[in-house]
Structure 1
């Protein structure tokens, strides 16, 4: 299946990951999920002020976060030959980079994990209970390790 990716970068300074890698990791998560139709996704990269504002507005959490995902939802009877819009992913570049440093992870690897995590949310994966979290973490780990990146949930030393 084909995935169209629209990216908007709304930060000052240089992005810590290139656009080719962003698209690659989103596609890897899309393919691993088993989704069976053409789709599109939007990615917005923002600063800490904007992610905090969005987190407060949509999740009632008055703090910044690394990623927000807004699934568009499945429309019953949607024609199979049309692309479905999966939703929007919003990532705070500064937080992802800071987390990578704090967790002793390569910035590129942590970016990959956050992209995969956000994409899986758009595809219906959740972590609202232990069983859902275990299932989502298993798939994330599988996607990452199958593509040469260490398990994102193991302790870094």
Structure 2
């Protein structure tokens, strides 16, 4: 698995964002029967100020968020609740999936508010971001049900509790 990590906020180093990303992204890919060794993801570990700028630039939302994803290709399903298209390797046998950014402050605040560990919550957000790169979304009801169910299954295999249950 190739997760290329850029750390802009040094607080991510204390939770070993790189190791969390390798584990979370590989788990999401393997769950979908994709070979992690063939896939590439770029990850930015940043702060709220940086992610708010990215959110404003790309989503026209002038506020910080926990995670953002930029898929390298449109893979979303046309039908609500259907599986997205699987990525196709290029001529070198690699799949460039896209880019993910995750904000330390928002992630840490959400984890504390939910009574979760920061590594577990960050892992959830990394799985979530990886699924977005693979064409999963939560804009339509059945798509959201599919994506949340998949996140719960992946995290369960990793020993992390269902993030959607109180």
Q: Normalising by structure 2, what TM-score?
A: 0.84
Indicate which of 104, 118, 122 corresponds to 1:111: 122
Q: Following the alignment from structure 1 to structure 2, what is the Cα–Cα distance between the partners of residues 137 and 12?
A: 30
Q: 1:80 Cα deviation (Å)?
A: 5.0
Q: Following the alignment from structure 2 to structure 1, what is the Cα–Cα distance between the partners of residues 59 and 74?
A: 21
Q: 1:36 Cα deviation (Å)?
A: 5.6
Q: Secondary structure at the match of 2:127?
A: helix
Match of 2:101 in 1: 90
Q: Structure 1 stretches (4+) deviating beyond 4 angstroms?
A: 74-78
Change (3 A) 1:107 1:78: closer
C-alpha offsets along residues 71-119 of structure 1, whole Å, 9 cap, x if unaligned?
A: 0016998645431210000000111011000111111110110010000
Q: Following the alignment from structure 1 to structure 2, what is the Cα–Cα distance between the partners of residues 153 and 57?
A: 29
Q: Secondary structure at the match of 2:40?
A: strand
Q: 1:16 Cα deviation (Å)?
A: 4.3
Q: How does 1:33-112 map to 2 (within 5 A)?
A: 33-35=32-34, 38-73=38-73, 79=90, 81-112=92-123
Match of 1:140 in 2: 151
Q: 1:14 Cα deviation (Å)?
A: 5.2
Q: Following the alignment from structure 2 to structure 1, what is the Cα–Cα distance between the partners of residues 69 and 142?
A: 20
Q: What are structure 1's unaligned runs of at least 5 residues?
A: none
Is the 2:74–2:135 contact (alpha carbons within 8 Å) kept by the matching residues of 1? no
